[in-house]
Amino acid sequence: MGLAMAQNVQRFLQKDTKPQLRFWNRTPSRGTSLEKLGAIGCESVAQLVTECDLIFISTSDDAALNSILDQILAVKDIDGKLFVDTTTVHPNTTKETDEKLKNRNASFVAAPIFGATPAAQSGTVLMAMAGPSEAIDQIAPFGKGVIARDVMIVSDQPEKATLLKTLGNFIVAGAMEIVGEAHVLAEKSDLGADMLEKLLELNFGMMYSSSRRMTQGVYIPGEGQSPQSNLDLGIKDVQHGITCAKDFGARLKVAEVALDNMVRAKEFADAHGGRSLDSSSGYGIIRQDAGLDFENNFVKKRDTGKDGDSSQ
Catalytic residue IDs: 165
Nearest to 226 by CA among 117, 87, 115, 64: 117
Helix (H) or strand (E) holding 249: none
- Burial string for 7-21 (b: 16+ CB within 10 Å, else e) reads bbbbbbbeeeeeeeb
Contact between residue 90 and residue 244 where contact means Cβ atoms under 8 Å apart: yes
Rounded-to-integer distance, Cα 142 and Cα 285, Å = 40
Contact between residue 265 and residue 234 where contact means Cβ atoms under 8 Å apart: no
Cβ-count burial of 311 within 10 angstroms (0-12 exposed, 13-18 middle, 19+ buried)? exposed
Rounded to the nearest 10 degrees, the angle between the axes of helix 231-247 and helix 158-188 is: 120
Would you call 182 helix, strand, or coil by DSSP? helix
Nearest to 129 by CA among 99, 106, 160, 168: 160
Nearest to 286 by CA among 210, 145, 193, 180: 180
Contact between residue 70 and residue 46 where contact means Cβ atoms under 8 Å apart: no
Rounded-to-integer distance, Cα 212 and Cα 209, Å = 5
Q: For residue 27, give every residue at least 6 positions away whose Cβ sits within 8 Å of its Cβ, in sequence order, or none.
A: none
